[in-house]
């Protein structure tokens, strides 16, 4: 089938006013939901680490299960409420109560770690059964619309339309996925919602199907939107080529570009429009190159007075304002000085290391995403930072080689900020066996997950059988940062010393 470019847009042309108006009903609904009696989801929250019915908000939740609360239980909720409850389970809490729930959750995590270490014969318990002192949670400077990156899926909506752009309620395992528009979500900024709405308008008027299951055909897949405080907006559209030829692919790219530059999507004012042909669930640039259809190849952000370049798949903390507070704390906890070497593992675009570069002797960054390393090197050069070096590759391959012949007498402070999968065992072993590393800062958005295994490996007694020969670390201080308001997650910074 040859796809021809339409002679005119079959949908009304959007303007800035029209785009905002399209989102107004959902925004009004969001306000309505928040004005209702705040009834936390006890069924969801009771499973959280640290959930305690003695807390004031949780007492209210238990008491609110009567006539009013029952009507808002998950099965009877509107789809908008169900999505909000799935993605941002704490949205019904006033913010101070959200922080209280999260603090209790972090306490339970540190109690669990204390118990694990106790089983290994390491007595580290502090008051409250914690493995180390826990400081109060640092609140997010921005509570609503704080995300600088959002990923929208394409699937069947509540009305059955397979070209709905939004977020999922349900799971693939349970085969009950429904894609719900995210216009009412409080953690997503308006600009992201506008791009998602425009993308939905585009694919609904496309003759090509959405790709729900790879083996069943279809093409249109997820949308990623990234924004910065400079006002830059990057959109990345993932497309399954199936058996389309190059001419048909070129037509689709041309249509997308026309839509977002001079068609209804121009309301989004995109700085960058990328297109990725992918036959896998997740692809790096090396596996499936990001093709720039329009605009600039990068967007830019400022953190602590430094300018950072961001590529399509580069990691950057999702809450920019919260990241500034986090990075400042890392410098203080690390006690970095003029003779310190800062080892930034899983460094992304180099934000942590470069923000502290002028306070240390040298910064060494390691990151698996090659484009992020290119960004890190550019960021260092642009900001006039000459005491940094960045290595591309898997940390488990690069770090052991880097540290195996380490002879530098200067003190080393290591910072690790891995994904939820945690650190590879070879990375843990390399850190343990490098005697120059006396202070380690582990940053985790899911410390109760694989990070817990890393904590015990870093703190257990020497074990020649596992080649853990260096002295164990000791949990010294923990500080939670609320980088994700309305969700159950926060970023825990755990200082380990030896």
CA neighbor of 496 nearest in space, from 401, 428, 402, 420: 428
Separation between Cα atoms, residue 325 and residue 50, nearest integer Å: 24
Say whether 496 sits in a helix, a strand or coil: strand
Q: Is residue 479 within 8 Å of residue 372, measured between CB atoms?
A: no
Alpha carbon 291 to chain centroid, angstroms: 23
Which runs of E-coded beta strand occur in 336-486? 341-345, 362-367, 388-392, 412-416, 437-444, 474-481
Q: Is residue 229 within 8 Å of residue 320, measured between CB atoms?
A: yes
Classify burial at 1, counting beta carbons within 10 Å of its beta carbon; exposed 0-12, middle 13-18, buried 19 or more: exposed
Does 491 qualify as catalytic in the annotation? yes
415 beta partners: 344, 441
Separation between Cα atoms, residue 357 and residue 389, nearest integer Å: 11
Dihedrals φ, ψ of 390, to 5°?
-130, 135
At how many degrees (to 10) do helices 395-404 and 425-433 cross? 20
Q: Are strands 164-169 and 437-444 parallel, antiparallel or unpaired?
A: unpaired
Q: Is residue 458 within 8 Å of residue 433, measured between CB atoms?
A: no
Say whether 169 sits in a helix, a strand or coil: strand
Does 262 qualify as catalytic in the annotation? no
- Strand order, beta sheet including 178-180: 178-180, 164-169, 149-155, 220-227, 233-239, 272-277, 290-295
149 beta partners: 226
Say whether 360 sits in a helix, a strand or coil: coil
Specify the length of the chain in residues. 498
Structure tokens at 25: 């009903």
Catalytic residue of the set 445, 459, 460, 490: 445
273 beta partners: 235, 294
Instruction: Map tokens 């898997």 to a residue.
Output: 394
Helical segments of 450-497, H only: 450-459
Separation between Cα atoms, residue 170 and residue 157, nearest integer Å: 12
Active site residues: 445, 491
């Amino acid at each position: 089938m040859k796809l021809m470019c339409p002679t005119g847009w079959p949908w009304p042309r959007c303007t800035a006013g029209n785009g905002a108006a399209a989102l107004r009903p959902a925004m009004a609904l969001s306000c309505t939901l928040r004005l209702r009696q705040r009834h936390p989801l006890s069924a969801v929250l009771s499973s959280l680490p640290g959930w305690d019915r003695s807390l004031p908000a949780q007492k209210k939740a238990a008491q609110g299960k009567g006539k009013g609360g029952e009507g808002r239980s998950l099965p009877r909720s509107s789809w908008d409420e169900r999505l909000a409850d799935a993605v941002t389970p704490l949205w019904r809490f006033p913010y101070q109560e959200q922080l209280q729930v999260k603090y209790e959750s972090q306490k339970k995590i540190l109690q669990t770690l204390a118990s694990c270490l106790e089983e290994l014969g390491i007595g580290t318990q502090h008051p409250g059964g914690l493995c180390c002192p826990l400081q109060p949670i640092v609140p997010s400077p921005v509570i609503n619309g704080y995300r600088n990156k959002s990923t929208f899926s394409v699937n069947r909506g509540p009305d059955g339309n397979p070209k709905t752009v939004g977020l999922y309620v349900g799971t693939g395992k349970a085969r009950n996925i429904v894609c719900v528009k995210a216009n009412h979500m409080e953690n997503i900024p308006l600009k992201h919602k506008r791009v998602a709405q425009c993308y939905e308008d585009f694919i609904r008027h496309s003759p090509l199907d959405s790709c729900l299951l790879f083996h069943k055909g279809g093409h249109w897949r997820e949308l990623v939107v990234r924004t910065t405080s400079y006002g830059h907006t990057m959109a990345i559209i993932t497309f399954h080529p199936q058996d389309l030829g190059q001419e048909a692919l070129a037509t689709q790219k041309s249509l997308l570009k026309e839509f977002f530059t001079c068609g209804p999507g121009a309301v989004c004012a995109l700085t960058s429009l990328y297109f990725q042909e992918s036959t896998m669930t997740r692809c790096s640039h090396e596996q499936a190159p990001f093709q720039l259809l329009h605009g600039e190849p990068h967007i830019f952000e400022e953190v602590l007075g430094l300018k950072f370049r961001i590529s399509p798949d580069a990691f950057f903390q999702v809450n920019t304002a919260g990241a500034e507070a986090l990075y400042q704390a890392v410098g203080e906890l690390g006690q970095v000085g003029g003779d310190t070497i800062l080892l930034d593992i899983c460094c992304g675009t180099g934000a942590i290391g470069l923000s502290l570069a002028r306070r240390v002797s040298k910064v060494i960054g390691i990151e698996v995403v090659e484009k992020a390393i290119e960004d890190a090197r550019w960021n260092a050069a642009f900001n006039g930072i000459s005491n940094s070096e960045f290595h591309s590759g898997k940390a488990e391959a690069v770090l052991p080689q880097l540290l195996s012949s380490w002879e530098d007498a200067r003190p080393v402070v290591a910072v690790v900020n891995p994904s939820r999968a945690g650190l590879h065992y070879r990375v843990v072993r390399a850190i343990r066996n490098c005697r120059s590393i006396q202070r380690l800062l582990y940053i985790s958005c899911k410390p109760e997950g694989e990070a817990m295994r890393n904590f015990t490996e870093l703190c257990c007694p020497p074990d020649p059988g596992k080649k853990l020969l260096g002295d164990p670390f000791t949990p010294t201080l923990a500080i939670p940062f609320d980088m994700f308001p309305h969700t159950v997650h926060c970023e825990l910074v755990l200082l380990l010393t030896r």
